[in-house]
């Protein structure tokens, strides 16, 4: 199972790009994949083909009316592991002996 963390935004569309981020979130939600939105991007968990398809659909949705789109993406693969959106944070919390801000 893979984790994909990505940030995508249009250039030359002003300071606030929340409406464009919302487009991507709708696509991610329709995919049925587990995800977490955070202040600087989104993390999605799934199989590689699913994640690449979501990333491509998000990019195409943004590029539909944006002449320039910036995207950063990174993948983390761990064979046989799933539910890592929760378990990775839980592992750190266990080591700290407390919960962390989410």
Residue-wise pLDDT for 24-69, tens only, equals: 999 999 999 999 999 999 999 999 999 999 999 999 999 998 999 9
Identify the CATH class of 2-96: alpha beta
Q: What per-residue confidence (pLDDT) applies to 93?
A: 84
CB atoms within 10 A of CB 35: 18
Task: Give the whole-angstrom CA distance, residue 37 versus residue 77.
Answer: 19
**What are the sequence ranges of the domains in the chain?**
2-96
Residue 14 has pLDDT above 80, yes or no: no
Q: Are 23 and 61 in contact (CB under 8 A)?
A: yes
Q: Is 28 exposed, middle or buried (0-12, 13-18, 19+ CB in 10 A)?
A: buried
């Amino acid at each position: 199972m893979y984790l994909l963390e990505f940030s995508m935004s249009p250039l030359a569309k002003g300071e606030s790009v929340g409406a464009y981020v919302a487009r991507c979130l709708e696509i991610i939600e329709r995919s049925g994949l587990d995800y977490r939105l955070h202040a600087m991007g989104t993390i999605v968990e799934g199989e590689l083909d699913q994640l690449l398809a979501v990333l491509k659909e998000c990019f195409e949705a943004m590029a539909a009316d944006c002449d320039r789109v910036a995207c950063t993406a990174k993948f983390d693969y761990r064979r046989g592991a799933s539910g890592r959106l929760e378990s990775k944070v839980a592992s750190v919390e266990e080591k700290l002996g407390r919960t962390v801000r989410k």
